[in-house]
Amino acid sequence: MESNKPWTQCHPKVSCGAVNFVRSLRSLGPRYMALWIGQTISQFGTFVAFITIPLLVLYIQKGVVSHTIDFSLAYALETAPTLLVGLMGGVFLDRIQLRPVMVATDLLRACAFFYLAAGVDDFGVATIFVIAFIVGSMTTLFDGALFAMIPVLVPKERLSDANSFVTASIQANFALGPLVGGLLAYLFDGPAVGLFINGVTFVISAFMLTYVGRVAHAPAARDDTSTFVSEFLAGVRHIWREPRLRVSTLAAAIPNFVIGFLEATFVVLAQLVLSTESEAEIGVLLFFMGVGGLIGALYAPRITRLLGLGRAMVSGLTIAGLALLVAMFTSYGPVPMALLAVFMVGISIINIPLATIRQYYAGEGMLGRVVTAARALGWATLPVGALIGGWLGDTPETYPWVARTFPLILLGCALWLFTTVIWTDTFGPDYRRGNHEAPATRPGRVSGDRRFDIDSPADEAGA
C-alpha cells in the first residue's frame, strides 16, 4: 500500500538510506531543519555530560568506586526535575513563546558547565549534586519545548518521520558524546576538558535556534482565576481518561525505573560487571549503545508502519529486555558491545511510538500540558530506579546481583503490555493504511493547519 512506501523513492538495487534521510529531512522545511540542527548540537552536549558528570564523581572518589549511591544521587537530582519542573513546565510552555525558552535553557546550561570546568579540582560531591539539579531542570524545559514545537512546524502525517529524525540525532549523539567524553577524560587525565566542551555546545545550539523564527502561539482558553496547578491537573485528567495515553505513560514509567538505575551507575556497571579498565573503554561501550540506538531510530518508522504503534512498542521492549539480561553475564569485548547495541535498538523502537501517541491524543490547546505531563510522569521513575538500585547495590558485592535482576522488569512489562489496548488497538489497521487521524480525538484534536506555540521531549522509555 501507499503508506508502506519509504519516505522517498529509490531504485531497489541502489542503497539510498542516507539519501532518503537527507531528502526527507529537507522536505520538512527550513524551520524544522534549524530546530533539528540546534537540538542535535544541544543533545551532543547533553551526552558528553552523560559520562563527564559521573566521571567527575569518580574523579572526586580518587578513581575507585567506594559508594554507588553517590552516582545514584547525582543522577537522581539531574532527572528529578522531569517531575518537579516538568509537571508545571507544560502549563508554562502553553503560555509563552517556545523558542526563547530553548535558547535561555541552552545558555544557562552552558554557564553551569563552564563553572564546573573552571574549578574541577576544588569541588566536592555536594556541588555536583546542585549543578546536576540545575542542568536537569533546564534540560526538562528544553526537551518539553522541542517536542511541543514539532507538531507546529510539520504536517500531522509527517510527525512520525519528524520524531524519528530527533530520535536518530539523539542516538547518534549517544554514540559520539560519551565516546568523546571518555576519550577526553582518558587523554587529559580528568573530566575538565569534556565539561568545557559541554558548555561550548550549548552556546552553539542557542545560536542555531535563532534561525527557527517566531512560532505562532494559540494559548488555551482559560479564565483569569486559572492556576498552574488546575491547568496541569486538566492535562493529567486527559491522560488518565484516554486509555492509550494512560497505558503508554505507564509503559514508559516501568522501563524507566530500570533505565534510571542503568544510566545512573553505568560507570560502576562497566567496572564491576563488564570488567572495563579505563574511561576510554567505558566510552566505547556507550558508543556501541548509541550506534544501536541510531539503527533503531532509523528503522523504527518502517517497523511502526509494519506492526502498528502498539505492537512496535511491545516488540522493542522485549528485544531490549532480553539483550540487557544476557549482557549482564558477559565481560568487556565484542559480545557485550553487540548486546548493548541490540538493547538500544529495542529502546529506540519504543520511543517513536510513545512520542507519536502523545502528540496524536493531545487535545487542542493542551498539547504542551499533555505531552510534558506524560513525559514527566513517565520519567518520574528514573530517579526512583537510580536511588533504589544504587541503595541495593551500594557495595561491590551486591551491585552485580542487582544489575542482573533489573532486566527482568523490562520483560515483565512487555508481557503486561501484550494484554492491554496498546497491543490490540493503538490506531489499529487505520494507521497502517495511512489514516493518521486518531479516532478518539477527532472532535478536538490539533488540526493539521492550526499553529501553536507549545512544546514537549524524546527519550526517552528513555526518551
How high is the pLDDT of residue 262?
A: 92
- How does pLDDT run across 325-360, given as a tens digit for each residue? 999 999 999 999 999 999 989 988 887 788 777 777
- Bridge partners (DSSP) of residue 363 are 445
Between the alpha carbon of residue 264 and those of residues 287, 314, 324, the distances in Å are 17, 25, 16
Q: What is the average pLDDT across 271-280?
A: 89
pLDDT in tens, 351-379: 778 877 777 776 656 666 777 677 777 87
* Position with higher pLDDT, 95 vs 435: 95
Q: Is the pLDDT of residue 456 over 70?
A: no
Give per-residue burial for 181-220: e unless 16+ CB within 10 Å, then b.
Answer: bbbbbbeeebbbbbbbbbbbbbbbbbebbeebeebebbeb
Cell of 12: 531497489
427: left (phi over 0), alpha (psi -120 to 50) or beta: left
d(CA 446, CA 74): 38
What mean pLDDT do residues 396-410 have? Answer: 93
Backbone dihedral angles phi then psi of residue 250, each to the nearest 5 degrees: -65, -35
Inform me whether the pLDDT recorded for 224 exceeds 70: no
pLDDT, position 333:
93
Residue 109 has pLDDT above 60, yes or no: yes
pLDDT of 455: 29
Give tens-digit pLDDT for 285-322. Answer: 988 988 888 788 778 888 888 888 888 888 999 999 99
Whether 454 is covered by a domain: the verdict is no
Specify the 3-state DSSP secondary structure of 251.
helix
Per DSSP, 315 falls in state: H
Looking at the structure of the chain, the number of domains it has is 1
Determine, yes or no, domain membership for 401.
yes
CATH code for the domain of 108? 1.20.1250.20
Residue 90 banded pLDDT, cuts 50, 70, 90: low
Identify whether 22 is part of a domain: no
Taking 50 as the threshold, does the pLDDT of residue 14 lie above it? no
In a domain, 11, yes or no: no
DSSP letter at 67?
Answer: -
Q: Which helix (H) or strand (E) holds 462?
A: none
155-169 pLDDT, tens digit each: 877 777 787 788 778
What's the mean per-residue pLDDT of the chain?
77
Specify if 328 maps to a domain: yes
The per-residue pLDDT for 323 is: 96
DSSP string, 68-116: HHHHHHHHHHHHTHHHHTHHHHHHHHHHS-HHHHHHHHHHHHHHHHHHH
Asked if the model's pLDDT at residue 108 lies above 60, the reply is yes
Could you give the CA distance from residue 278 to residue 292 in angstroms, rounded to a whole number? 22
DSSP letters, 356-385, are HHHHHHPBTT-HHHHHHHHHHHHHTHHHHH
Give the range of the structural domain holding residue 164, as residue numbers without chain letter: 29-213+227-425
Q: Which residues, other chains included, contact 31 with Cβ-Cβ below 8 Å and sequence gap of 6+?
A: 153, 211, 212, 213
Establish if 368 belongs to a structural domain: yes
128-183 confidence digits (pLDDT tens):
889 989 888 888 888 878 877 887 888 877 777 787 788 778 777 878 888 888 88
Residue of 329 and 26 predicted with greater confidence:
329
One-letter amino acid of 348: S
Helix (H) or strand (E) holding 160: helix 159-187
Q: Residue 192: its pLDDT value, please?
A: 85
Judge whether 460 lies within some domain.
no
52 domain residue, yes or no: yes
Provide the pLDDT confidence category of residue 409 given band limits of 50, 70 and 90: very high
> What single DSSP character describes residue 16?
-
Predicted pLDDT at 12: 45
Q: What percent of the chain has pLDDT over 90?
A: 18
Comparison of pLDDT for 211 and 400, the residue scoring more: 400
Specify the 3-state DSSP secondary structure of 390: helix
